[in-house]
């Protein structure tokens, strides 16, 4: 054999801690603004050293997922304060629009739904179900439920088992749900709109749960088309009359 083999190196404990905390943030289980438990308690809960926890947290701070406040602790960073979001840069410098963003979402998420239907495991189905239930609870409590909506779509991304999909969608939803939340408020402010959105998410969930890629793709397409048409109609209504 002419090629050289490299020895397999065991994954560092701090990297495992980092991956677990990062996933909690990406899935929305640790929400923006939420405080992490102290290093000491994290170390006990994870059965690792405080040094490993500290190294993992430092990496997440560098990534912009966490922030440390002097004398207060470590918090999940609010997406609005994150810098260098490539989608935000595109919107600011390339004349991109909400309509354009939603068109990209159509391609990314319809394909993701189909992949998720093929690859979703029991844990993925559970995350989807929990996010859907959280959306309903938020709405029933008089809130908008946008963060639960983010968690649902991130659960779809995780179910694809494609890390590139996860990273792209994380940045996408940071920007979509927090960078232009004024527009999203209009989508969620009417009860009939909220009920429609909940029904659409339920159809997506059921298709993925049933491992039906074609039905999952179609359900996601119908959901995003609904959002696109809502904003198109709203824009037309707000156009000055000739």
The most confident of the ranges 40-44, 97-101, 177-181, 188-192 is 40-44
Which is nearest to 114 in space by CA: 159, 169, 168?
159
Q: What is the pLDDT of residue 3?
A: 59
pLDDT digits (tens, 9 = 90+) for 55-73: 999 888 877 788 899 889 9
- Per the model's pLDDT, the better-predicted residue between 52 and 100 turns out to be 52
Report helix, strand or coil for 230: helix
Report helix, strand or coil for 35: strand
| DSSP per residue, 48-87 | S-HHHHHHHHHHHHHHTSEEEETTTEEEEPPGGG----HH
Q: What is the pLDDT of residue 202?
A: 97
Which is nearest to 176 in space by CA: 229, 232, 103?
103
Output the CA torsion sign for 163, 127, 25, 12: negative
Q: What is the pLDDT of residue 219?
A: 98
Mean pLDDT to the nearest integer, 210-223: 97
Report whether pLDDT(139) > 70. Answer: yes
The most confident of the ranges 20-34, 120-134, 164-178 is 120-134
Query: How many whole angstroms separate alpha carbon 184 and alpha carbon 81?
Result: 19
Predicted model pTM: 0.75
pLDDT band at 184 (very low <50, low <70, confident <90, very high): low
pLDDT digits (tens, 9 = 90+) for 70-117: 889 999 887 654 555 566 666 665 666 777 778 888 999 999 999 999
Name residue 98's beta-bridge partners.
none
pLDDT digits (tens, 9 = 90+) for 5-30: 666 667 789 888 988 898 888 777 88
- Per the model's pLDDT, the better-predicted residue between 221 and 192 turns out to be 221
Q: What is the pLDDT of residue 87?
A: 61
CB 75, CB 82: distance < 8 Å: no
């Amino acid at each position: 054999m002419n090629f050289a083999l490299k020895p397999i190196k065991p994954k560092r404990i701090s990297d495992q801690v980092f991956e677990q905390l990062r996933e909690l943030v990406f899935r929305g289980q640790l929400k923006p603004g939420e405080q992490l438990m102290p290093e000491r308690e994290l170390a006990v809960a994870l059965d690792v050293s405080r040094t490993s926890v500290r190294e993992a947290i430092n990496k997440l701070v560098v990534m912009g997922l966490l922030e440390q406040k002097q004398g207060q602790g470590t918090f999940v960073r609010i997406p609005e304060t994150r810098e260098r979001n490539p989608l935000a840069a595109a919107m600011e410098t390339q004349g991109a629009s909400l309509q354009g963003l939603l068109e990209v979402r159509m391609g990314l998420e319809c394909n993701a739904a189909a992949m998720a239907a093929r690859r979703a495991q029991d844990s993925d189905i559970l995350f989807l179900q929990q996010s859907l239930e959280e959306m309903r609870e938020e709405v029933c409590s008089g809130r908008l439920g946008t963060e639960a909506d983010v968690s649902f779509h991130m659960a779809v991304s995780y179910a694809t088992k494609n890390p590139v999909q996860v990273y792209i969608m994380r940045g996408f939803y940071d920007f979509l749900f927090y960078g232009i939340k004024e527009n999203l408020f209009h989508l969620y402010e009417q009860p009939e709109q909220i009920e429609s959105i909940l029904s659409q998410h339920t159809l997506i969930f059921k298709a993925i749960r049933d491992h039906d890629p074609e039905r999952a793709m179609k359900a996601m397409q119908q959901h995003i088309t609904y959002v696109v048409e809502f904003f198109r109609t709203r824009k037309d209504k707000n156009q000055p009359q000739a």
